[in-house]
Structure 1
Amino acid sequence: MIKFLKWLSVLSTIGMLFVLVGGALVTKTESGLGCGRSWPLCNGELIPSDFNIELIIELSHRLVSGTVGILVLALSTLAWKYFGSVRETKFLSFISIFFLVLQGLIGAAAVVWGQSDFVLALHFGISLISFAAVFLLTLIIFEIDKKFDAESLIIDKSLRRQIYGLFWYTLAVVYTGALVRHAEASLVCKDWPLCEKGADIGTFSMDQWIQMGHRFAAGILFLWVIYLFVRVSKQYYQQKVMYYGWLAALILIILQVTFGAFIIFTILNLYIALAHALFISCFFGLLCYFVLLSSRSANFDKR
C-alpha cells in the first residue's frame, strides 16, 4: 500500500502544480470567461459546440482541476486511513480537500457573478495552501518509508520564529503578486527595479502602487531568505534536510525574482510569467515543510 500511496502522492502533487500554473494561465490570457457566465457547464453546454482559444484554456483548467481533485480526495482518504497515527496527517488531509474545494467555489463564483480584483487575488493563495498540504502529505509518506530522516532534527526557538514569520509574510507577498495579475498592473511600470526613471512617486496611479508594492515586498522576502540561508549554513550545516532544503529555497527565490524582472524586460512573455508562478509555488511548498519541522521541534520542547 505504501508504494501505491507514494505514486498517488507524487501524481497529486504534480497535478496540483498544473492546477496552480493553469490558473495563472487563465488569468494571464484573460480566459476566465472563456465558457461565458456558465459553471460547471461551458456556455450552458456539456460539450461546447464552438471552440476558441479562451474556451479551450478555461475548459482545460476546469477538467484538470476536477481530475486532480479526485486524486487529492483519494490521497487524503487513504492517508487518513493508513497513516492517521502520524500527528500531521489528519490535519493536512482535511486542509488539502477544504482549500481545494474553496478555491473551486471562488473560481465558480468569479465566473457566474464576477468578483473584485482584491477578492480574485485570494484565489491563487488558497490554491497554494491546498498544494502545500498535498506536498506535505507526500513528504510524510516518504518519511514513513525512511527515504530521508528528519526525525532527529531540532530547530531552535529563535529560528522557528523566523520561519513562522516568513511563512505569513510569503502569503502576503503572494497575495500582492496575484493582485498585480488580476488588476492588470504587470506592465504599468516600464523599468526595473524602479518604476520609471525620474518618476515622482507622488504621481503614481493605483496600479503603479500595486506593482511597486509587490516589488518592494518581494525584495524584502529575497533578503530574508538570504539571511536565513546564511544562518542555517552556520548552525545546521551537518543537517542535510536543513542545509539542502534552504539551499533549494534560496535557488527558487533567486529564480522567482529574476523571472519577475524578466516579465518586464520581455513585455509579459507568457512562459516567463508562468515560470514565475511555478517557482513561488515550489518555494512556498518547501517553506511549509520547514514550518512542519518547526512545529515538531516546538512539541519536543514541551516534553
Structure 2
Amino acid sequence: MKDRYLRVLSLIGAAAVFIVVLMGTLVTNTGSAYGCGNNWPLCNGQVIPTAQAHQTWIEFSHRAVSGIASILVVIIAVWIWIRLKQVREARFLAVSSVFFIFLQAFLGMGAVVWGQSSVVLALHFGVSLLSFSSNLLIAFIVWEETLPHSRRIVPPIRKGMTWNFILLSIYTYIVIYSGAFVRHTQSSLGCTDFPLCNGRIFPEPLISKAGVQYLHRALALILVIWVILTLIHCMRHYQSTPSLSIILFVSLILVFLQAVSGILIIETKMALVFLLLHALFITGFYGLLMILAMLGLRRSEN
C-alpha cells in the first residue's frame, strides 16, 4: 500500500515540476517577471496580493506552485532515500532533484530581487529542465522498483550508443539554452521569415538579434538530423529492444513538433500558445533523452 502511494506521489511530483517549467515560460512571455515587484517571497509587500493586474497573479501563481512543488520534491527525495536505498540511481536522483529545484528557485528569486543578465536568465530555464528530468527519472525508477512482478530494465545497449545518448543530451541542453537566450535577448523575431532570415540565407550583420536566432535555428536543425540518424541506427541494430526505437520515435515527434511550434512563433508574431507549446515539447523531449541516457549507463555499469 505504501509503495502505491509512493508511485502516485512520484508522478504528481514530476507533473508539478513540469507545470512549474511551463508557468515559468508563461511568466517570461507575458512580461510578468516583475508582477510582484522586486519583493520576494512577498508579492508587492503582501502575502497574498490584492492587485488586479494579471501579471501579478501570473507571477504569484508561479511562486505558489513552485513552493508546493519544492515541498513535494523534498518529501519524495527523503522517501526514496529510505525506501530505495539499495538503488544507487535513486539516491543520486534524490539529491539532484532537491538541488535543482532549489537552484531554480534561487535563480528566480535573484532575477526578481537583484536583476540578472540574459545569460543567467537563459540558464534558469535550463536548470528547470534538469529539475524536471530528475523527477521524471525518479518516477520511472519508483514504478520500475515497486510494481509487483516488475524487474529492473537493463537493455543491451553498447557503450558507443550510451555515449551517443549522453552527448545527444548534452547537445540538446546547449540547443535549449540557445533558445532561452533567444527569448531573453528579445531575439525571437530577429528573423521575421522562415526558412530564410529577413529574406537572406545568412543574416546581416551576423552579430545581431537575427544572428542569435539564426544560430538557434542551425543548432536545432543539427539536433533533428542527429535524432533521425540515432533512430535509424537503433531500428537496424537493436531490433531485440524495440523500446529504444519507440522512445526515440516519440522523441523525434516531439522535436519535430517543437520545430513546427518555433516556426509558428515567427509566423504568428509570438502568439502565446505557440510559445508555451515550444517549451512543452522540448521539455518532454529532454526528459525522454535522459531516460535513454540512464538506461545506457546501466548497461555500461554491468
**TM-score band, normalised by shorter chain:** over 0.9
Following the alignment from structure 2 to structure 1, what is the Cα–Cα distance between the partners of residues 254 and 165?
Answer: 16
Please say which of residues 50-59 and 198-207 is displaced more in the overlay.
198-207
Does 2:221 correspond to 1:219? yes
What CA distance in whole angstroms lies between the structure 2 residues aligned with 1:20 and 1:259? 17
Q: Does 1:182 align with 2:179?
A: no
| One-letter amino acid matched to 1:76 | A
Q: How does 1:1-303 map to 2 (within 5 A)?
A: 1-144=2-145, 145=147, 151-198=153-200, 201-300=203-302
Within 1, Cα distance between the matches of 2:105 and 2:3? 29
Could you tell me how far apart the structure 2 residues matched to 1:253 and 1:93 are? 28
Q: Structure 1 residue runs of 4+, over 4 Å off?
A: 146-150
Tell me: CA distance 1:199–1:219, structure 2 relative to 1, closer, same or farther (3 Å).
Answer: closer
Distance in 1 (CA, whole Å) between partners of 2:16 and 2:182 is 25
Aligned-pair identity in percent equals 39
Q: 1:52, 1:173 → 2: CA distance?
A: 34
Give ranges in structure 1 of 5+ residues lacking alignment: none
SS at match of 1:196: coil
DSSP-derived class of the 2:88 partner: coil
Q: CA–CA distance in 2 between the matches of 1:280 and 1:25?
A: 15
| TM-score under structure 2 length normalisation | 0.96
Separation (CA, whole Å) in 2 of partners of 1:152 and 1:9: 21
Amino acid at match of 2:255: I
1:155/1:297 contact within 8 Å kept? yes
Q: Residues 255-291 of structure 1: CA distance to partner in whole angstroms, max 9, x if unpaired?
A: 1111111111111110111011011111111100111
Query: In the comparison of the two structures, how many residue pairs are matched?
Result: 300
- CA 236–149 in structure 1, closer or farther in 2 if over 3 Å, else same: farther
Distance 1:157 1:242 in 2: 15
- Residues 159, 51 of structure 1: CA spacing in aligned structure 2 closer, same or farther, 3 A cutoff? same
In 1, distance between residues paired with 2:65 and 2:114? 22
Question: Counterpart of 2:84 in structure 1: which amino acid?
Answer: F
Deviations along 1:212-261, one digit per CA (max 9) or x if unpaired, are: 11111111001000000111111112313212111111111111111111
Q: Which segment drifts farther, 238-247 or 216-225?
A: 238-247
Q: CA deviation at 1:205?
A: 4.8
Q: 1:71 to 1:185 in 2, by over 3 A?
A: same
Aligned to 1:88, the other structure's residue is in SS state: helix
8 Å CA contact retained: 1:193, 1:215: no
Work out the CA distance in 2 between the residues paired with 1:197 and 1:150. Answer: 53
Pair 224,39 (structure 1): closer, same or farther in 2 beyond 3 Å = same
Once the two structures are TM-superposed, the CA of residue 47 in structure 1 deviates from its matched residue by 2.0
**Helix, strand or coil: the match of 2:40?**
coil
Cα distance change on mapping 1:228 and 1:53 into 2, 3 Å: same
CA RMSD of aligned residues (A): 1.4
Change (3 A) 1:200 1:87: closer
1:149, distance to aligned residue in structure 2 (A): 5.5
Listed one character per residue, the Cα deviations across residues 75-105 of structure 1 (whole Å, up to 9, x for unaligned) are 1110111012112000000000101000100
Residues 187 and 267 in structure 1, CA contact (< 8 A), matched pair in contact too: yes
Q: 1:51 deviation in Å?
A: 2.2
Alpha carbons of 1:45 and 1:87: their partners in 2 closer, same or farther (altered >3 Å)?
A: same
Note the alpha carbon deviations across 1:153-204, whole angstroms, 9 max, x for none: 1211211121111011011011001111111111121111221113763424
Change (3 A) 1:200 1:292: closer
Equivalents in 2 of 1:170, 1:149: separation in Å? Answer: 30
With over 3 angstroms needed to count, the CA separation of the structure-2 counterparts of 1:160 and 1:185, relative to structure 1, is same
> Aligned letter for 1:157?
K
Distance in 2 separating the partners of 1:245 and 1:223:
16
